[in-house]
Amino acid sequence: MTSGTVSAPLSGKVEAVPLSALNQFLYCSRRAALIHSEGIFISNEHTLRGDLNHEHADLPGFEHRAGWKLLRALPVWSDRLGLNGKADIVEVRETGGRVAEARPVEYKSGKKSKWLNDRVQLCAQALCLEEMLGIAIPEGMIFHAKSQQRTRVDFDAGLRGETLEANRQLHALLADGTVPAAEPKPQCEGCSLHDVCLPESARSRRFHLFEAS
């Protein structure tokens, strides 16, 4: 994906895909296709750790903290973008019984970082909430369980454009139904689908029976 590219929302009726698929796609398009086109998913220590860190946030309900109302496991969606899923936490402030401010908070198991896939997933949640609530959402938060720190993410024009373009490419990939070829990357080592994907095979030289010497 080209950084800073702005793409219009999808036109016409499109099949909704999970918000998490955006994260998977930017992490590795082959992984996204294996999971969301082929239905292949295998857990490992990294995915299980992430599930454990989400346990509290994934319990539906709400609480109040520091002037914000915290909505946990809130379903969010966008018919315009063909996305749906759950926001770990949405912090809202209400005025006159209506939501006047909102910001999504995404829980991640690792330490503080600035990975594009995490920021795009969070921005996509904000785009869904803007469509649902009819308000502008300028920022959100990523909570890093390992460091117990929050990172503020500004939903500026650049990130919004990258999110829309990633969403367009993701929908095109899943609509096509093909699985991209394996491409060895540093993140392959910790991927739960490593033994299915076999990225090392992409490095193997292919021999032909009548190959010229």
Residue 2 domain-assigned (yes or no): no
pLDDT at 95 over 70: yes
Residue 118 domain-assigned (yes or no): yes
Residue 157 domain-assigned (yes or no): yes
pLDDT at 198 over 90: no
Pairing of the two strands 98-108 and 139-144: parallel
pLDDT at 49: 52
Q: What six digits make up the tokens of 65?
A: 């903290």
pLDDT at 46: 47
Cα-to-chain-centroid distance, residue 119: 8
pLDDT at 20 over 50: yes
- 34: CB partners within 8 A, 6+ apart: 40, 179, 193, 196, 197
pLDDT at 14: 65
Whole-number Å distance between alpha carbons of 129 and 133: 6
pLDDT at 4 over 50: no
Residue 168 domain-assigned (yes or no): yes
Whole-number Å distance between alpha carbons of 82 and 73: 19
pLDDT at 43: 59
pLDDT at 209: 43
Average pLDDT, integer, range 198-212:
57
Contact assessment for residue 23 and residue 187, using Cβ atoms and an 8 Å cutoff? no
Residue 204 domain-assigned (yes or no): no
Q: Is 201 helix (H, G, I), strand (E, B) or coil?
A: helix
The answer to which of 7-16, 118-127, 148-157, 172-181 has the lowest mean pLDDT is 7-16
Alpha helices in 111-187 (DSSP H): 116-133, 157-176
CATH at 40: 3.90.320.10
How do residues 110-151 score in pLDDT, each as one tens digit? Answer: 776 667 899 999 999 999 999 999 999 999 999 988 888 899
Whole-number Å distance between alpha carbons of 51 and 59: 12
Residue 8 domain-assigned (yes or no): no
Domain count, the chain: 1
Residue 100 domain-assigned (yes or no): yes
Contact assessment for residue 92 and residue 102, using Cβ atoms and an 8 Å cutoff? yes
Whole-number Å distance between alpha carbons of 93 and 7: 31
Q: What six digits make up the tokens of 155?
A: 């939903």
pLDDT at 64 over 60: yes
Residue 123 domain-assigned (yes or no): yes
CA dihedral 166, 171, 177, 183 (to 10 degrees): 0
Domain encompassing residue 86: 17-179
pLDDT at 183: 84
Taking the model in full, what pTM does it have? 0.80
Residue with the bigger pLDDT between 50 and 195: it is 195
pLDDT at 123: 98
Q: Percentage of the chain with pLDDT > 70?
A: 75
pLDDT at 203 over 80: no
